[in-house]
């Protein structure tokens, strides 16, 4: 019997799908359906309106979706469980949901610390744990049990001024991914750490036009991430560092 192909009937969950980089990845997947026949995409974010709009676009291009509105800081795992119930397996997790608060080191409040660490650190840990535990029990498909891509940041290996909290949370994500790769390699689960530099998304709020011109577009990052998904199962890209050609902002 022919073994199932790696990129056919792919079940994908994208967190942070409503805006910015997560949304750009969904759009990229929809645009490349010729490479992903019968792809299904679960969409997760806090704002239900964003997900409903994106699900409508997906449906128009013939792609089945599942919308999973909710705050990962409160409940990081039920989306994964829902995908398993509805679709049986999860082939790809793209974790883009993340937050930042920026300022002088001395001015962060305990609430700032809790806000950033609950989403970027705690929820990321529990979400990836649930995902890995699911993927390792799945039979391999085309040589892989699953793929996990997490958008950390260039701030996961480089300090930026006014970014103590954000850098701490991104270094933590990087550390988790590096440790997870040890069991993941044995279980045929591929893990990609996406160290993105500045891309123009709602996370940045209002930016001046001079600065905008120096930033990447979300589609630059999304395109490279989808290329990495398409790599043959015998190989893995562990870190994808992508930044504006003129350097970090």
Site of interaction with ligand NAP (CB under 6 A): 16, 18-22, 45-47, 50, 71-73, 96-100, 119, 151, 153, 196, 198-199, 201-203
Rounded distance between C-alpha atoms, residue 213 and residue 75, angstroms: 37
Structure tokens at 149: 């891509």
- Which residue is associated with the tokens 């997906």? 58
Residues 202 and 157 sit within 8 Å (Cβ to Cβ): no
Nearest approach in angstroms of CB 125 to ligand NAP is: 13
Residues 244 and 214 sit within 8 Å (Cβ to Cβ): yes
Nearest approach in angstroms of CB 98 to ligand NAP is: 2
Residues 156 and 173 sit within 8 Å (Cβ to Cβ): yes
Nearer to ligand NAP, 18 or 146 (CB): 18
Nearer to ligand NAP, 151 or 176 (CB): 151
Nearer to ligand NAP, 16 or 146 (CB): 16
Nearest approach in angstroms of CB 242 to ligand NAP is: 9
Nearer to ligand NAP, 138 or 173 (CB): 173
Nearest approach in angstroms of CB 4 to ligand NAP is: 31
Rounded distance between C-alpha atoms, residue 101 and residue 11, angstroms: 32
Structure tokens at 9: 């009937």
- Which residue is associated with the tokens 């490279």? 224
Nearest approach in angstroms of CB 105 to ligand NAP is: 19
Nearer to ligand NAP, 100 or 146 (CB): 100
Nearer to ligand NAP, 51 or 144 (CB): 51
Opening angle at CA 136, ends 131 and 141, nearest 5: 105
Structure tokens at 31: 């645009």
Biggest alpha carbon–alpha carbon distance for the chain: 63
Residues 221 and 28 sit within 8 Å (Cβ to Cβ): no
Nearest approach in angstroms of CB 65 to ligand NAP is: 15
Residues 197 and 248 sit within 8 Å (Cβ to Cβ): yes
């Amino acid at each position: 019997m022919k073994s199932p192909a790696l990129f056919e009937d792919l079940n994908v969950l994208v967190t942070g799908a409503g805006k910015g980089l997560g949304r750009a990845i969904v759009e990229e997947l929809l645009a490349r359906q010729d490479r992903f026949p019968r792809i299904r995409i679960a969409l997760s974010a806090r704002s239900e309106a964003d997900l409903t709009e994106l699900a409508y676009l997906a449906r128009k291009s013939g792609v089945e979706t599942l919308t999973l509105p909710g705050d990962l800081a409160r409940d990081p795992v039920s989306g994964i469980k829902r995908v398993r119930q509805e679709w049986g397996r999860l082939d790809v997790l793209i974790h883009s949901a993340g937050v930042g608060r920026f300022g002088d080191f001395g001015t962060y409040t305990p609430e700032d610390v809790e806000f950033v660490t609950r989403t970027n650190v705690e929820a990321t840990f529990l979400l990836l744990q649930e995902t890995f535990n699911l993927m390792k029990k799945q039979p391999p498909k085309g040589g892989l049990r699953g793929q996990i891509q997490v958008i950390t940041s260039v701030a996961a290996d480089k300090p930026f001024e006014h970014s103590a909290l954000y850098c701490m949370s991104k270094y933590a994500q990087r550390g988790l991914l590096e440790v997870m790769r040890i069991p993941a390699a044995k279980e045929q689960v591929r893990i990609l750490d996406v160290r993105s530099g500045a891309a123009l998304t709602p996370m940045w709020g209002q930016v001046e036009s001079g600065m905008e011109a120096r930033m990447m577009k979300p589609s630059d990052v999304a395109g490279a991430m989808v290329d990495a998904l398409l790599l043959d199962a015998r190989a893995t890209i562990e870190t994808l560092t992508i930044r504006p050609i003129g350097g970090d902002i």
